[in-house]
Every structure is written in C-alpha cells, then in structure tokens.
Amino acid sequence: MSRLILVLGDQLSEGLSALAEADKDSDIVVMAEVADEAGYVRHHPKKIALVFAAMRKFAQTLKEDGWDLRYTQLDDTHNAGSIVGELLRRAEETGAQEVICTEPGEWRLIEKLKYAPIKVQMLPDDRFLASHADFEGWAEGRKALRMEYFYREMRRKTGLLMEGDDPAGGQWNYDHDNRKPAPDDVEYEGPIRFEPDAQTAEVLDLVEARFADHFGDLYPFEFATTRAQALEALDHFITHALPKFGDYQDAMLEEHETLYHAVLSPYLNIGLLGPIEICQAAEKAWQDGSVPINAAEGFIRQIIGWREYVRGIYFLEGPDYVTRNALRHDRDLPDFYWGAETKMNCIAHAVRQTKTSAYAHHIQRLMVTGNFALLAGVDPAQVHEWYLEVYADAFEWVEAPNTIGMSQFADGGVIASKPYVSSGAYINRMSNYCKGCAYKVSVKTGEGACPFNLLYWHFLDRHRDRFKDNARMGNMYRTWDRMDADRRETVLKDAGKWLKRLDAGEVV
C-alpha cells in the first residue's frame, strides 16, 4: 500500500526525514500551494513568491530523481485550499491510507495534522542540530535559559571553532568586537541578485494577481529559488562580505540596507541550505586566513546558537507562547508600520526597506521597529503578526521567540534578562538615520525632542515595579532618580502628549 509523503514549503531539503523514510518505488510525494498557508496572515508578496517558486523547482528536482509526485498549484481548479484538504484529496485519488510528514515549524499546522481524518506519522525535523529532547534536557533545572550557555553546548556538539575541548582563540564569544558603528564607506555591493526565469515569472504573475493587496512590493524579485542559486549566494557572502560582517553587524545605513549581512536566512529557513554547511563554510574561511575570528564566530553563533535556541524555546514553551503579554501592553500597532507617514526617519526607513525588500537585519528589527513598539506599549500579538507577515525569512518557530521574547519582553523574561529598550542615542551611534530626521536626537524634552528619548523614560517609569530590582537595569533607574523632579515631570508629560497625538492618528 502506498503512503503519502508530505513536503511543505519550508521543507525543501532532499535529506528531509519524511523523504528518507519513504519508499521511492511505492510512496507518493504530495506538495501543494494552498490558500490556508498563503493567507493565514497577509504575507509579503515576495515571501509568497519565494516559497512558491522554490517549491515548484524543488518538486521538479524530486521528479527528475524518480519520485511519484503530485503537485497542486494555487490556481488549480481542484485545489482543496488547505494542506489537510489536499492530503485527503490525494488519498482518495491514490487509495493511500497513511501520511508521513516531517514535523512542521508552527503549532498551528501541527495541530491541524494531528487531528486530520487520516493517519499521520510525524517525524522529527532532523535538519536542526538540537532535537526537542536535547533542548528539554539542557533546559531542565535551569533558573534562566540563557542562549550563551546553550551555544557553548552546540559548539562542543558540532566541533565548530573548537581546539580540542577549548574554543578557538581562547574565547567563546567575540561580541565585544562586533559593535562598531556604521562605516563611512561600505566596500560591498550587497547579496547576489538573481534574475527570475520563466518558471519564477509564472509564479510572480500568480502572486501579483492574487496578493496585490498585501503589504509589500513584489518587484523587483531577486531571491534565489533553487539550491544551486542558494549555494552561489552563500559563496558570494563568504568571499565578499563575511570578512567585515562581524565588525559592522549591528550598524545601519540609509544608503546601504544590507551592509555586510548575508541575507541567507530565507534560504536556510525554507530548506535550500543547511545550518552545518553554512557554518562550515564560515569556519573554513577563518581557517584559510581570509576571515577574522570575530566575524566567523559572530556568524556561526547566529546559526547554531541563536537560531537553534529560539526554536528550542518555541517548542518548549508551547502553543500559547504567542499570546503572552507580560507587560500588559495594549496599544494598536501604528499605521506607519504599514507605510503611513511618520516624522521618525529611523522608523520610516526600516518600514520602507521592509516594504521593498521583505528584509531588515536584526538590529533594525530589534532596536528600531521593535524598540519603538515596546517603548510605546504596543500589543505584542499585533507586533508578532506584523513581523510574521512582512519578512521573507519569518516562520513562526523563529519569528515568535524573537518578537514575543527578545523584542517585546512579552514572555516575562524567558529569553531576555531585561527589556531591549534604548533612547535615540543608541540609534544615532549605530546609524546615520538621525541626520535626516525631523526630530533632534540631542533634544530630550519639548518641541522637536526625539520620541525615543521621551518614551524610554516613560517606559522605565511605568514599569518601575517590575524592573526596579533587575540588576541589569539599576544604572538606568539611578540615572532617572538623579534627575531633577521637575525635569522628570516634564519628560513624562511630554511623552504622554506625544502618545496622545499618536493615538489620535496625527502624523508623528
């Protein structure tokens, strides 16, 4: 009896556990572009196009490899509209009575498959280095689940940047070398860009017709859509950008949206690249002497450290994680996150870049758009949904912990030991955004004061009971307490007035 082998749009890896378990002579691979997955949030058109184009090309690869494959395009007349619906349709068509799948990366889809009216065997996603059991074992009994210690375990497990039992260079972490402000010149033209072929062009036409009302620009579309192209993008980054990635990974420039960043996460997260091969490429570049250790270590830490860690948190904390709101924030997400006018140049630039590219690097997400939402008290569920919608690399297992935990502190400190909030000074130090802003970062109160300056103290004041005893925030509160009482009152009044203008829909 044949079985159905489900391959999802973020599982485009030939070594996928479901394919490894299958019998090519008798089993049938099922892939489907469905409205449920394309529309459960209003995904960026570029993200939808990337996944659909990569799916179609991966399906072609499987067919050429001899698999019996049933592929459903979004506009097929018999499309059932959901993954479970497509599995049931294919089961009726083929007589199959069992589905084998690799565990999805979202609780939403796991639950749908779990309760599907057909037998579903769900296999672990072994493309990740840490299984659920591995992470649970590491987390058990720990008072705080800090990424740094998990990362060291992943270094030992993989042997990456290790010299015997010791870290290469004598340090586990070179983050103190990776915080340089934006350079005067960027000697890198950015990630390699790919011209859409005829097959991708068909997808673009479909996405343009069906999802034109979604936030984001579909054109130009320049993502890799095959493994070969993704490998080319990896080689381009290792050769041309990784040497300076470490130094400037936290920097931001208006005129250069990627600086020395890889923009490989979309390919990694849909399965065109694997984490170990990426890290080994970076390690080899360091071993060959073409990349400094702070760059190689900082890049590898993002993948085997942070990426594995947030996935572990997502599955450890369970389906209700995305609903958490420890700070009880309830302000609606401002319209300028969808491109409405704002006088804040840093926000305007980050949103504009997000709209055109479906991309922003981690500091733009954490310390600009995320920082503002946290300072202003925006509902974290709305922030979470926004990030899930607008970025090409956003899948819930990776996006939710980064947003609910790291960015918005909505999980109450499961991930972060303190909220990631800052005044305008940080953004000014790490970018050139403030030079073109209607607000003045040097102005702390009154007309023209940077909203980040006002809201920073407003946030600390309103959440004092929660954070006053936090060891990492003591200096912040001591600085606040040393201010003249009249000045503190002015700051809070000005912040309150600014928030009222925001709530009233004024251009702020």
Separation of alpha carbons 124 and 104, rounded Å: 9
pLDDT at 180 over 90: yes
Same domain, 119 and 136: no
Same domain, 300 and 395: no
- 12 and 92 in a single domain? The answer is yes
**Model pLDDT for residues 80-106, shown as the tens digit of each residue:** 999 999 999 999 999 999 999 999 999
Structural domain that includes position 13? 4-123
Structural domain contains residue 101: yes
Residue 1: band (very low, low, confident or very high) from pLDDT cuts 50, 70, 90: confident
Average confidence score pLDDT of the chain: 97
Instruction: Note whether 340 and 304 are same-domain residues.
Output: no
Checking if the pLDDT of 7 tops 90, the result is yes
Do 56 and 138 lie in one domain? The reply is no
Task: Say if CB 421 and CB 459 are below 8 A apart.
Answer: yes
Provide the pLDDT confidence category of residue 155 given band limits of 50, 70 and 90.
very high
Tell me the pTM: 0.97
Tell me what pLDDT residue 184 has. Answer: 86
DSSP letters of 96-150? --EEEEEPPSSHHHHHHHHT-SSEEEEEP-TTSSS-HHHHHHHHTT-S---HHHH
**Predicted pLDDT at 280:** 98
- Amino acid residing at 388: L
* Alpha carbons 407 and 279: distance in angstroms, whole number: 25
- The Cα–Cα gap between 89 and 92 comes to 5
Residue in the block written with tokens 């990424």: 147
306 plus 339 within the same structural domain: no
For the segment 352-379, what is each residue's pLDDT rounded down to a tens digit?
Answer: 999 999 999 999 999 999 999 999 999 9
Residue 222 included in any domain: no
- Do 293 and 154 lie in one domain? The reply is yes
Cα–Cα distance measured from residue 77 to residue 70, given in angstroms and rounded to the nearest whole number: 15
Looking up tokens 């947030």, which residue turns up?
A: 310
314 pLDDT tier (thresholds 50, 70, 90): very high
**Domain membership flag for residue 303:** yes
Whether 75 and 154 map to the same domain: the answer is no
The type of residue at 213 is D
Residues of the chain above pLDDT 90, percent? 97
Report the candidate in 421, 412, 386 with the shortest Cα–Cα distance to residue 400.
386
For residue 25, the domain's CATH number is 3.40.50.620
Mean pLDDT of 134-151: 96
Mean pLDDT to the nearest integer, 147-174: 96
The pLDDT of residue 177 is: 87
**Domain assignment present for 231:** no
Which residue, among 329, 334, 369, 371, has the nearest Cα to 349 in the 3D structure? 369
Confidence (pLDDT) at 43: 98
Location of structure tokens 């009222």: 500
Q: Give the domain CATH number at 459.
A: 1.10.579.10
* CATH number of the domain enclosing 296: 1.25.40.80
In whole angstroms, what is the distance from residue 202 CA to residue 188 CA?
Answer: 32
Provide, rounded to the nearest whole percent, the portion of the chain with pLDDT above 70: 100
Question: Is 107 within a domain?
Answer: yes
- Tell me how far apart the alpha carbons of residues 98 and 116 are, in angstroms, rounded to a whole number: 11
- Identify whether residues 348 and 310 lie together within a single domain: no
Please check whether residue 427 is in contact with residue 344, taking contact to mean a CB–CB distance below 8 angstroms: no
Q: How many domains does the chain have?
A: 3
pLDDT tens by residue, 220-242: 999 999 999 999 999 999 999 99
407-447 per-position pLDDT tens digit: 999 999 999 999 999 999 999 999 999 998 999 999 999 98
Length of the chain, in residues:
508
In a shared domain, residues 292 and 362: no
In Å, the largest CA–CA distance within the chain is: 79
Same domain, 283 and 352: no
pLDDT of amino acid 145: 95
- Same domain as 367, residue 407: yes
Q: What is the pLDDT, as a whole number, of residue 429?
A: 97
